[in-house]
Structure 1
Amino acid sequence: MTGAPLLAVKGLRTSFRTPNGDFAAVDGVDLSVPRGRTLGIVGESGCGKSVLSLSVMGLVPRPGRVAAGQVLLEGQDLLTLPPAAMRHIRGGEVAMIFQEPMTSLNPVHPIGAQITEAMRAHDPGATDLRARAIAALARVRIPAPERRFDEYPHQLSGGMRQRVMIAMALACAPKLLIADEPTTALDVTVQAQILDLLRDLQAETGMSIILITHDLGVVAEMADEVAVMYAGRVVERAAARDLFEDPQHPYTLGLLGSVPRLDEDRPRLLAIEGTVPPPFALPPGCRFAPRCPFAVAACEAAPPPLREISPGHHVACLRAPVELAA
């Protein structure tokens, strides 16, 4: 992974104002995505994964706002761009596949019209939009794309709707694709087909991918690098092989220990004790300390920095690497 990354997120903080005060759903996140590579972001529901992706896209809903940090796309800070310039970036340079295609697609418009709308927005002078949209549907392996062009979302299966979302996202050849839970609610066969499709399209176009999921199996299959988030912060970041072979943060250990494995005979799966702290009552030190079996008094004093413990392997834990590896 040499050269400048396509995307670099530095010190990103996204907060929400509520009657109980402000809280940061994303709190000081640093990430980078090399060209042509896949970054997997994992964590429990509510850890900030989707808010992070919406922050990159400039789509944080009110009363949320990006309070600090930088989102650098090829060196250009997207957070400083005016709305018109960001609309040009969104969909053209950076595209996103949202979690649930049935709620993301407009139910009263044919899917072909929705794909051509995205094309028209970024290329107002284009004339062959129908042919391009049909080609986009064929590219994501939708059968009979000419007929599907005029069909409505409710006429398609869940897997086909997800393929339509991918076709729409790739319609303008983005450099970066953000896939937010792209296989949620799909059966394992369709899930495998979607992942194979994303992998083939990445090889064909050279785009970078941010894959957001809670499914560690999907991450193991797709990602080159993995970032583990907990309570709005990245607690571990490493190459996928290193993270799965040598996890160092107690939270990562807990996540991996909760997944059944065919090569191990365990009477019970590991369960992480306790619950995620509410955003208005976060502990002053390590946010995982109240649930951590390795915690010591120093863990509760101050937030641990995300530090490099081996080449390319970063962990936000005072006990790593010696005690956890022992």
Structure 2
Amino acid sequence: MTDALLRIEDLRTVFRSSGGDIPAVDGVSLEVPQGRTLGIVGESGCGKSMLSLSVMRLVPQPGRVATGRVLLDGRDLLALPNSAIRDVRGRDVAMIFQEPMTSLNPVHSIGDQIMEAMRAHDGGASNAELRERAVEALRRVRIPAPERRFTEYPHQLSGGMRQRVMIAMALACAPRLLIADEPTTALDVTVQAQILDLLRDLQAETGMSIILITHDLGVVAEMADEVAVMYAGRVVERGTAREIFEDPQHPYTLGLLGSIPRLDEERETLLAIDGTVPPPFALPPGCRFAPRCPFMISPCNDVVPPLRVVADGHLAACIRAPIEAALAP
């Protein structure tokens, strides 16, 4: 993809243990085009958040990025010195973390925290200028009475308001790429819709790219242009949102979609995927989804399926793909 703003190439993030390196992200390659939204979906424990932390170079110890490249406009973020990556965070790439209450500092006002993010990349601005810009950032994310909210503390705001503050902080320095890690978790449906509308409007206004990490396929259907499905640290399917939802080509994606209630179908029970995501220290040989897969055949236990093209721009890591052809009598 020639117009990719961000290109992740064969990224592998591991955690050191007495038994050797344990992979949390294992050979992931993705592209994020300019001005587009990439949705990354999968169950908890699939490596979605660790992938985003790897891009931001925020992997906690004893974790490390073992191999791969993260190219932002052709510049490898993993090769930059610490001083340079600090300049990139916030200015070029910003992140909204899962839980705003634990991401915001409870002893500093909302305004001070937004101003701190701005000051890190614009040390020459006066406090009055930074305050004006911070209030405008709050107004931009549709927080009512932004001048008053500027002086308040995180505990004085609702969950939806705190999430808006996190978005304002992330966008304070006009980044080109926004990573939103479960931005609507723990929010009610009405507030969730408001946050998604806000992200969509801000993207249209600024032209930024978005990586949207979630387990909610409804959010992905509404927001994403392209989708990557992750399982046990790997991408098992990639394609446009239309392709993923209308013609899924990996059994795991089929299971995720089958677990969603639909208004246009009558079903007595929803589909459930048996078992759980294997821990990274006990991954099965061959296909990692094989122990849970209803379409598993003998070679699945031995063959590691590559991510291959099954249709134009649609990739799946399954030896039985395309699924319809594999299941035909």
| TM-score calculated relative to the size of structure 2 | 0.97
CA offset digits 1:8-60 (Å, max 9, x no partner): 00100000113443210000001000000000000000100000000000100
Q: Does the 8 Å CA contact 1:8/1:31 hold for their aligned counterparts? A: yes
Partner of 2:49: 50
Gaps in structure 1 of 5+ consecutive residues: none
| Identical amino acids, percent of aligned pairs | 78
Distance 2:191 2:282 in 1: 40
Distance 2:47 2:278 in 1: 13
C-alpha RMSD of matched pairs (Å): 1.0
Supply the AA of the counterpart residue of 1:298: P
SS in structure 2 at match of 1:270 = coil
Return the match for 1:323 from 303, 319, 326: 326
Supply the AA of the counterpart residue of 1:276: V
In the TM superposition, what are the counterparts of 1:142-291 in structure 2 within 5 Å? 142-291=143-292
Distance 1:182 1:325 in 2: 40
Q: Does the 8 Å CA contact 1:91/1:118 hold for their aligned counterparts? A: yes
Deviating 4+ runs (over 3 angstroms): none
SS in structure 1 at match of 2:10 = strand
- Once the two structures are overlaid, the 10-residue window that deviates more, 291-300 or 241-250, is 291-300
Distance 2:276 2:113 in 1: 41
Aligned residue pairs, count: 325
Partner of 1:34: 33
Supply the AA of the counterpart residue of 2:220: V
Gaps in structure 2 of 5+ consecutive residues: none
Change over 3 Å in CA distance of 1:154–1:252 after alignment to 2: same
SS in structure 1 at match of 2:238 = strand
Change over 3 Å in CA distance of 1:325–1:147 after alignment to 2: farther
Partner of 1:139: 140
Change over 3 Å in CA distance of 1:20–1:139 after alignment to 2: same
Deviation at 1:324, TM superposition (A): 5.0
Deviation at 1:325, TM superposition (A): 7.4
Q: Does the 8 Å CA contact 1:39/1:224 hold for their aligned counterparts? A: yes
Partner of 1:300: 301
Distance 1:154 1:25 in 2: 33
